[in-house]
Amino acid sequence: MSDNASIAQSFFEAWEKRDFDALGKYFADGVSFNDPPRNQVIKGRKDLKDFYESWALACPDSTCGATVIAASGDTVAVEGVWVGTNTGPFGPFPATGRSVSMPWINVLRFDGDGQIIDGAGYYDQLTPLTQLGHMPVPSGA
Protein backbone atom coordinates (compact mmCIF):
# COMPACT_ATOMS: atom_id res chain seq x y z
CA MET A 1 0.00 0.00 0.00
CA SER A 2 1.37 3.44 -0.93
CA ASP A 3 1.90 6.07 1.75
CA ASN A 4 -1.15 8.01 0.52
CA ALA A 5 -3.24 4.84 0.60
CA SER A 6 -2.17 4.24 4.21
CA ILE A 7 -2.98 7.84 5.08
CA ALA A 8 -6.43 7.53 3.46
CA GLN A 9 -7.11 4.37 5.44
CA SER A 10 -6.02 6.12 8.66
CA PHE A 11 -8.28 9.06 7.80
CA PHE A 12 -11.35 6.81 7.71
CA GLU A 13 -10.22 4.96 10.82
CA ALA A 14 -10.27 8.34 12.59
CA TRP A 15 -13.84 8.81 11.29
CA GLU A 16 -14.83 5.40 12.68
CA LYS A 17 -13.42 6.46 16.08
CA ARG A 18 -15.29 9.80 15.83
CA ASP A 19 -11.98 11.62 16.27
CA PHE A 20 -12.98 14.63 14.18
CA ASP A 21 -10.16 16.82 15.50
CA ALA A 22 -7.69 14.28 14.11
CA LEU A 23 -9.73 14.05 10.92
CA GLY A 24 -9.36 17.78 10.32
CA LYS A 25 -5.58 17.51 10.52
CA TYR A 26 -5.57 15.39 7.36
CA PHE A 27 -6.72 18.41 5.31
CA ALA A 28 -4.27 20.83 3.71
CA ASP A 29 -4.84 24.58 3.86
CA GLY A 30 -7.23 25.48 1.07
CA VAL A 31 -8.69 21.97 0.75
CA SER A 32 -11.61 21.67 -1.64
CA PHE A 33 -14.04 18.74 -1.90
CA ASN A 34 -16.65 18.21 -4.60
CA ASP A 35 -19.99 16.76 -3.46
CA PRO A 36 -21.71 16.05 -6.82
CA PRO A 37 -24.89 14.50 -5.33
CA ARG A 38 -25.65 17.79 -3.58
CA ASN A 39 -24.11 19.92 -6.34
CA GLN A 40 -21.77 21.72 -3.97
CA VAL A 41 -18.09 22.26 -3.38
CA ILE A 42 -16.94 22.25 0.23
CA LYS A 43 -13.95 24.49 0.89
CA GLY A 44 -11.72 24.75 3.90
CA ARG A 45 -10.73 22.49 6.78
CA LYS A 46 -13.59 23.36 9.10
CA ASP A 47 -16.37 22.98 6.54
CA LEU A 48 -14.97 19.70 5.23
CA LYS A 49 -14.53 18.35 8.76
CA ASP A 50 -18.15 19.35 9.44
CA PHE A 51 -19.25 17.52 6.26
CA TYR A 52 -17.67 14.25 7.41
CA GLU A 53 -18.92 14.76 10.95
CA SER A 54 -22.50 15.31 9.74
CA TRP A 55 -22.71 11.67 8.60
CA ALA A 56 -21.84 10.50 12.11
CA LEU A 57 -24.28 12.97 13.69
CA ALA A 58 -27.10 11.63 11.51
CA CYS A 59 -26.35 8.05 12.57
CA PRO A 60 -24.16 7.96 15.69
CA ASP A 61 -23.88 4.15 15.53
CA SER A 62 -22.85 4.19 11.87
CA THR A 63 -19.80 2.65 10.28
CA CYS A 64 -18.34 3.64 6.94
CA GLY A 65 -16.60 0.37 6.03
CA ALA A 66 -13.83 2.18 4.15
CA THR A 67 -11.45 0.16 1.99
CA VAL A 68 -8.78 1.55 -0.31
CA ILE A 69 -9.51 0.14 -3.74
CA ALA A 70 -6.91 1.96 -5.84
CA ALA A 71 -3.95 4.25 -5.34
CA SER A 72 -1.69 5.83 -7.91
CA GLY A 73 0.68 8.70 -7.30
CA ASP A 74 -1.11 11.45 -5.42
CA THR A 75 -4.62 9.97 -5.82
CA VAL A 76 -6.44 7.35 -3.75
CA ALA A 77 -9.91 5.85 -4.32
CA VAL A 78 -11.74 4.59 -1.25
CA GLU A 79 -15.08 2.79 -1.18
CA GLY A 80 -17.35 1.62 1.57
CA VAL A 81 -20.90 1.11 2.71
CA TRP A 82 -22.23 3.56 5.28
CA VAL A 83 -24.56 1.67 7.64
CA GLY A 84 -26.36 2.95 10.72
CA THR A 85 -29.52 3.97 12.53
CA ASN A 86 -30.81 7.49 11.92
CA THR A 87 -31.18 9.07 15.36
CA GLY A 88 -29.90 12.54 14.45
CA PRO A 89 -30.72 15.11 11.78
CA PHE A 90 -29.94 14.00 8.22
CA GLY A 91 -29.25 17.34 6.58
CA PRO A 92 -32.56 19.23 6.76
CA PHE A 93 -34.53 16.09 7.66
CA PRO A 94 -35.43 14.99 11.20
CA ALA A 95 -34.32 11.68 12.66
CA THR A 96 -36.54 8.70 11.84
CA GLY A 97 -35.06 5.88 13.91
CA ARG A 98 -34.80 3.82 10.74
CA SER A 99 -31.78 1.91 9.45
CA VAL A 100 -29.81 3.09 6.47
CA SER A 101 -27.23 1.45 4.21
CA MET A 102 -25.57 3.35 1.36
CA PRO A 103 -22.55 2.54 -0.81
CA TRP A 104 -20.12 5.41 -1.41
CA ILE A 105 -16.78 6.25 -3.01
CA ASN A 106 -14.32 9.03 -2.20
CA VAL A 107 -11.50 10.01 -4.53
CA LEU A 108 -8.84 11.91 -2.59
CA ARG A 109 -5.78 13.76 -3.88
CA PHE A 110 -2.80 14.39 -1.62
CA ASP A 111 0.01 16.93 -1.56
CA GLY A 112 3.67 16.02 -1.02
CA ASP A 113 3.19 16.24 2.76
CA GLY A 114 0.46 13.59 2.75
CA GLN A 115 -2.43 15.99 3.33
CA ILE A 116 -5.68 15.95 1.36
CA ILE A 117 -5.78 18.89 -1.04
CA ASP A 118 -8.93 17.98 -2.93
CA GLY A 119 -11.31 15.20 -3.70
CA ALA A 120 -14.85 14.17 -4.44
CA GLY A 121 -17.53 12.04 -2.81
CA TYR A 122 -19.90 9.90 -4.85
CA TYR A 123 -23.03 8.36 -3.37
CA ASP A 124 -26.67 7.88 -4.22
CA GLN A 125 -28.84 10.33 -2.26
CA LEU A 126 -32.06 8.56 -3.24
CA THR A 127 -31.10 5.39 -1.35
CA PRO A 128 -30.93 6.88 2.16
CA LEU A 129 -33.81 9.29 1.53
CA THR A 130 -36.14 6.40 0.63
CA GLN A 131 -34.78 4.11 3.37
CA LEU A 132 -35.41 6.82 5.94
CA GLY A 133 -38.91 7.57 4.63
CA HIS A 134 -38.18 11.13 3.45
CA MET A 135 -39.05 10.25 -0.16
CA PRO A 136 -41.31 7.61 -1.66
CA VAL A 137 -39.71 4.68 -3.43
CA PRO A 138 -39.88 5.45 -7.17
CA SER A 139 -42.53 3.46 -9.01
CA GLY A 140 -41.17 0.39 -10.75
CA ALA A 141 -38.27 0.14 -8.31
We report the CATH number of the domain holding residue 118 as 3.10.450.50
Strand-pair partners of 121: 106
| Containing structural domain, residue 89 | 3-126
Each residue's pLDDT tens digit, 100-134: 999 999 999 999 999 999 999 999 999 999 999 99
Residue 131 lies in a domain: no
Residue 141 lies in a domain: no
CA dihedral 87, 21, 128, 70 (to 10 degrees): -150
Indicate the DSSP class of residue 48: H
Residue 23 lies in a domain: yes
CB atoms under 10 Å from CB of 18, counted, come to 13
The pTM for the full model equals: 0.92
Each residue's pLDDT tens digit, 24-41: 999 999 999 999 999 999
What mean pLDDT is reported for the chain?
95
Does the structure show a pLDDT above 70 at 55?
Answer: yes
Residue 38 lies in a domain: yes
Residue 16 lies in a domain: yes
Q: How far apart are CA 61 and CA 98, in angstroms?
A: 12
Q: How many domains does the chain have?
A: 1
